[in-house]
Amino acid sequence: MASPIIRAARDDDVAGMLAIYAPAVRDSAISFEETMPDPDEFRRRLRAIAGHYPWLVCTRDDRVLGYAYAARFHPRVAYQWTVETTVYVAAEAHRQGIGRALYTSVLECVRLQGHQTVVGIIALPNAGSVGLHEALGFTAMGVLPNAGHKHGAWHDVGYWSLPLARDPHPAPPVPPAALTGDPRWGKAITSGERHLGG
Q: Report pLDDT for 198.
A: 56
77: in domain: yes
**Residue length of the chain:** 198
Q: Are 31 and 23 in contact (CB under 8 A)?
A: no
CA 72, 73, 79, 81 torsion-angle sign: negative
pLDDT digits (tens, 9 = 90+) for 75-107: 999 999 999 999 999 999 998 999 999 999 999
- Res 12 pLDDT > 80: yes
d(CA 130, CA 156): 13
- Burial letters for 65-86: b for 16+ Cβ neighbours within 10 Å, e otherwise? bbbbbbeebeeeeeebbbbbbb
Instruction: Count up the domains in the chain and report the number.
Output: 1
Please provide residue 163's backbone torsions phi and psi, each rounded to the nearest 5 degrees: -80, 130
Give the CATH number of the domain where residue 163 resides. 3.40.630.30
Q: Report pLDDT for 2.
A: 85
pLDDT-above-70 percentage for the chain: 99
Q: Report pLDDT for 52.
A: 97
Q: Which of 81, 83, 132, 62 is nearest to 104 (CA)?
A: 132
140: in domain: yes
Which structural domain, as residue segments, surrounds residue 151?
5-191
Specify the pTM.
Answer: 0.95
What would the mean pLDDT of 141-165 be, rounded to a whole number? Answer: 97
- Res 31 pLDDT > 60: yes
- Res 152 pLDDT > 70: yes
Which residues are within 8 A (CB) of 9 and not within 5 positions of it... i.e. 6 or more apart? 17, 46, 50, 55, 56, 57, 67, 69
Q: Report pLDDT for 1.
A: 72
- What distance, in Å, lies between the first and last C-alpha atoms of the chain? 9
118: in domain: yes
157: in domain: yes
Question: What secondary structure does DSSP assign to 30-78, as a single string?
Answer: SS---SPPPHHHHHHHHHHHHTTS-EEEEEETTEEEEEEEEEES-SSGG
- Res 46 pLDDT > 90: yes
pLDDT digits (tens, 9 = 90+) for 113-137: 999 999 999 999 999 999 999 999 9
pLDDT-above-90 percentage for the chain: 95
